[in-house]
Structure 1
Amino acid sequence: MSEKAPATAEKALSPKSETPAPQPARQKWYEWFAPTDTPAERRLILKLDGLIIVFVFLAYWAKVLDSSATSTAYVSGMKEDLNLYGNQLHYLQTVYMVGFITMQIPLTLLMTRCPVNYFLPAADLLWGVFTLAQYKASNVTQLYALRFFVGALGGFFFPAVQWYLGSWYKSSELSRRGAIFFIASQVGSMSSGYIQAGAYARLDGRYGIEGWRWLYIICFACTIPIALLGLCLLPSTPDTCISRFLTADEIQLAQERMASENREARQPFTRGKIWQILKGWRLWILVTFAFFFSQADGVSSNSGLSLWLKAEGYSVEGINTITTVSPAVTIVASVVCAVFSDIYDAKASWIAVTALLNIFACIVLAIWNVPVGLKFFAFFLSGTADGIAAIIYAWANEICSHSAEERAIVISAMNTIGNTFGAWIPLFVWKTVDAPRYLIGYNWTIALDVCMLAMLAVLVQFWAREKKRSLA
């Protein structure tokens, strides 16, 4: 017995006899918190959701109301009251887009130098004031000036919020929060028509104010309470946070959470830092990728479904009802993609799947002579194209986590390039004379998605190499 004891002991200590370490529990799709989140982290996350997500959702929803207010006002009496003629509506939209595009990067960078908890609500207040001023316009020249400032103050909001979310949330939390924020645009597009139609029907002529002018008053009335709510609730970034709602321990915990993600705090903006950003791969690859993504939603953004329904003889009520399915699909796709990409860290996979779905939808629409049910399915399926927006910007936050300044430049540049090309490419690709069968547009979208898949492979390769270097 004494001779066998050492062998038994040796066997007990051998690697083969060791019990495998239990794998950490994976977060389930319906769970809001990760199993590794401590009670203190969960309280902090809930507070951040209440302080930040509620404000950015409501503020974005209000901005979408204005994006369609001018077109609605034009056909609701503004054209006659201000003696608009020719292409002046197009010029108004162009001036708006000039402010929208040119000021995205400068204002987003300016926000990184200022207390965010004051900068965002203050910009929202100014946006509301300029929106209200449009109701007093007496000629088109005044509207040109006002539309520029409305575009400038509203255009930077999307990239600025994406950067702001990246300053508070982990990579495993960002896509879901970004999806909630993005959904506000879809809810806004679905509700704006009903709000504007109801306002015009009930308020036209009230207190001597024409119905189209009431549209701007309503946008202002929605915006100001939301901006004041932001002034009361929003915390700044963790590195400089002072909040009546967050304790010192919670602010320190937020800083530790960002440090664990290698999410750097704000640093001085130097020429050397700018040069380092410009010569790095992140800016150019992410911006190129964003170009293909931003243009690939052309099926849902160029009214192909509504024009086809009109050509098929559907009533106005039927068209308005059926077309609400597309933003509903986008909402569902945004939630599904965000939840599963967060839990499984599968951003690239969901982007690829969405691109393939959009390619299939556009192939069906390019063929065109298909069963009606399949055509409806293709139009609705194309609504998934925008469902990966939150994933893409969450990924940009993660990839550029080492520099708050690079995050701001890259995210705002991604959004700017999309809006810049989106302002003129549809004039050549989605021509109204080709409606409702946009053969060029559908084939263009197929090419965009194929290119997006190619750029996705490049992005994955560069990001994998970057992570390998950081671990070396």
Structure 2
Amino acid sequence: MSFPTEKSPQVLDATESPDIELSKETPGQSPGSVTARRQKWYEWFAPTDTPAERRLILKLDGLIIVFVFLAYWAKVLDSSATSTAYVSGMKEDLKLYGNQLNYLNTVYYVGFIVMQIPLTLLMTRCPVNYFLPAADLLWGVFTLAQYKVSTITQLYALRFFVGALGGFFFPAVQWYLGCWYKRSELSRRGAIFFIASQVGSMSSGYIQAGAYDRLNGRFGLEGWRWLYIICFACTVPIAFLGLCLLPSTPDKCNSRFLTSDEIILAQERMKSENREARQPFTWPGIIRILKGWRIWVLVAFAFFFSQADGVSSNSGLSLWLKAEGYSVGKIDTITTVSPAVTIIASVICAVLSDIYDAKASLIAITAVLNIFACVVLAIWNIPDGLKFFAFFLSGTADGIAAIIYAWANEICAHSAEERALVISAMNTIGNTFGAWIPLFVWKTVDAPRYLIGYNWTIALDVCMLLMLVVLHHFWVREQKLTRA
């Protein structure tokens, strides 16, 4: 399935950039007209970017992308710390039995889900350069406090606040990136940010295992308590780095690293994208957002996307390898291929999206690949090589995350408040359903052949393709009305 790209070739003055080449005259084209050379896949800047723009973009990458990458990586460490701590002595020390681990995860997700939209909207009212690092620092403090707990009740309370302070980070950063970067730059930056979660997944096991082996019993502390101390130690320097580096938003920017000319240039760049500055929240404005098509279509689309990564997120590969008699070492090594595939897919999709503006086509291709992988796994009785290929191929499902949120930033460009509400609602709905649907679809008793889960994922991807047609229709129609 292919869709037309969302933008037409730019026609510019030949004196504006040395990278713009004269084109041959074609019928109906005025003599001497020129078109911009298309950006190459390996080029970081667009040919039309001026030297001043390139300096600004490099500064923004150093000030913003470095922080959000490191901060997201640290949060992934904590998301797995409790499960690791549980099997590393916390269960016995706190006398946790029955379903307490499930309850801990539930409390975490309650804070994670309930506070996503309110905190993301609150951030739009505050200086972002202080809000994000301060929330990160508080998240680190609540994470550290978990090493001192002596009862499960204390741990429940702390896990709620850890979930609340960490849960809004993803949609908040997506909104923040949309305040600074053009649509031809967003997907790559969003991909770098998203890749941090995959790097965190690949590195967390090694970090936590090494910490437990070397620190268990040190200074009279059990190894599982050291896990939380390490998470805190990773977070605090990153939070202070954010306080030192992050600029606010272009409309109210106070950065020691950006000149006044660069701030004006950033404002002009956002105006050229029709990306509006922040405005006060009003009830008529909220009602207008709720009456529009964007929030409903984008949130519905996000539901199908967020659940379609079930193959890679429900341990099907590791459980199959265990059933086949693979050693723990080989299982740990082989399962790192899936996040590596996600990283590669994210980079490829982001580059192609920014250069060719082919978001719809990339989403459609990824959905088809995931359908193929799930069909193969649903059949199950196939050669092992094909089964490995299907498991690894399913890692591409999350590769389109960056371009989906970049597209949401573009679609809602006219209102900073709508961008914040829509992006946070998209992420919230995915996490809300992701917290309980696996209990019915990805049942452990069905492992390693999750027949229901694979068929469920096929249905999700088919629905995502249908919603993609709906989303593309509304977006193209709105563009035509705007141009008219």
Same fold (TM over 0.5): yes
In structure 2, what is the equivalent of residue 185 of structure 1?
A: 197
2:442 paired residue among 406, 430, 438:
430
CA deviation after TM superposition for structure 1 residue 15, in Å: 7.3
Cα–Cα, structure 1 residues 21 and 136, in superposed 2: closer, same or farther, change >3 Å? same
- Does residue 117 (structure 1) correspond to residue 129 (structure 2)? The answer is yes
Q: Is structure 2 residue 134 aligned with structure 1 residue 126?
A: no
Distance in structure 2 (CA, Å) of the matches to 1:123 and 1:369: 49
1:365 Cα deviation from its structure 2 partner: 0.0
1:409 aligns with 2:421: yes
Find the residue that maps to 1:167 and give its secondary structure. Answer: helix
Distance 1:17 1:292 in 2: 44
Partner of 2:315: 303
Corresponding position of 1:332: 344
Q: Does 1:205 align with 2:217?
A: yes
User: Structure 1 pair 16/292, CA: closer, same or farther in 2 (3 Å)?
Assistant: closer
- Counterparts in 2 of 1:16 and 1:240: CA distance versus 1, 3 Å: closer
> Residue 465 and residue 15 in structure 1: after superposition, are their counterparts in 2 closer, same or farther (change >3 A)?
closer
| CA drift at 1:168 | 0.2
Hey, what does 2:264 align to over in structure 1?
Answer: 252
Based on CA coordinates, which of the two structures has the bigger radius of gyration?
1
1:151 to 160, 163, 167: 163
Report the AA paired with residue 362 of structure 1.
Answer: C
Distance 1:440 1:201 in 2: 39
**Inter-partner Cα distance in structure 1 for 2:205 and 2:131:** 30
TM-score (normalised: structure 2)? 0.94
Partner of 2:481: 469
Distance 1:47 1:319, change over 3 A: same
Letter of the aligned partner of 2:457 in structure 1?
Answer: T
1:145-294 correspondence to structure 2 within 5 Å: 145-294=157-306
Q: Matches of 1:196 and 1:405 in 2, distance apart?
A: 39
Distance 1:126 1:190 in 2: 25
* Per-residue deviation, residues 12-32 of structure 1 (Å, max 9, x unmatched): xx9779647333100000000
Q: Tell me the distance in 2 between the aligned counterparts of 1:57 and 1:226.
A: 10
Give the Cα separation in 2 of the matches to 1:349 and 1:278: 28
The 3-state SS of whatever aligns with 1:36 is coil
Equivalent residue runs for 1:348-387 within 5 Å: 348-387=360-399
Hey, what's the Cα distance between the residues in 2 that align with 1:105 and 1:406?
Answer: 12
Structure 2 partner of 1:52? 64
- Partners in 2 of 1:467 and 1:255 — Cα distance? 22
| Alpha-carbon distance in structure 2 between the residues aligned to 1:55 and 1:171 | 21
Give the % identical residues: 86
Which position in structure 1 is the counterpart of 2:453? 441
Q: For 1:25, which of 1, 15, 37 is the aligned residue?
A: 37
Residues of 2 paired with 1:15 and 1:76: CA distance?
73
- Aligned residue type for 2:107: V
1:99 to 95, 105, 111: 111
Offset from partner CA, 1:445-464 (integer Å, 9 cap, x none):
00000000000000000000
| In 1: Cα distance, 2:30 partner to 2:407 partner | 38
The whole-number CA distance in structure 1 between the counterparts of 2:275 and 2:382 is: 50
- AA matched with 1:182: F
Deviation at 1:96? 0.2
Deviation at 1:42, TM superposition (A): 0.2
Number of the residue aligned with 2:77: 65
Cα distance in 1 between the residues matched to 2:118 and 2:30? 58
**Partner residue of 1:10?**
none
Letter aligned with residue 204 of structure 2:
S
1: CA distance, partners of 2:461 / 2:245: 40
CA distance in 2, matches of 1:196, 1:252: 45
Could you say what secondary structure the match of 2:239 adopts? helix
Instruction: Give unmatched runs, 5+ long, in structure 1.
Output: 1-13
Match of 2:19 in 1: none
Q: Give the match's secondary structure for 2:180.
A: coil
Q: Determine whether 1:80 maps to 2:92.
A: yes
Superposition RMSD in Å: 1.1
The 1:246/1:439 distance shift into structure 2, 3 A limit, reads: same
Residue identity opposite 1:120 in structure 2:
L
Does the residue aligned with 2:35 lie in a helix, a strand or coil? coil
Alpha-carbon distance in 2 for matches of 1:462, 1:365: 35
Count of paired positions: 459
Kindly provide the amino acid, as one letter, of the partner of residue 355 in structure 1.
A
TM-score, L = length of structure 1: 0.96
Q: From the superposition, tell whether residues 372 and 414 of structure 1 become closer, same or farther in structure 2 (CA, over 3 Å).
A: same
Q: Which residue of 1 aligns with 2:16?
A: none
The one-letter amino acid of 1:388's match is I
Matched, 1:342 2:354: yes
Residues in 2 aligned to 1:347 and 1:146: alpha-carbon distance in whole angstroms: 40
CA distance in 2, matches of 1:415, 1:17: 46
**Following the alignment from structure 1 to structure 2, what is the Cα–Cα distance between the partners of residues 418 and 390?**
15
* Deviation digits for residues 65-103 of structure 1 (CA, Å, limit 9, x no counterpart): 000000000000000000111000000000000000000
Q: What letter is aligned with 2:353?
A: S
Match in the other structure for 2:7: none
As a proportion of its length, which structure holds more helix? 1
| Aligned residue identity for 2:409 | N
Code of the aligned partner of 1:184:
A
Q: The residue matched to 2:140 in structure 1 has which SS? A: helix
Cα deviation, 1:93-128, whole Å, max 9, x if unaligned, reads: 000000000000000000000000000000000000
Structure 2 Cα separation of the partners of residues 353 and 17 of structure 1 = 35
Query: Aligned residue for 1:5?
Result: none
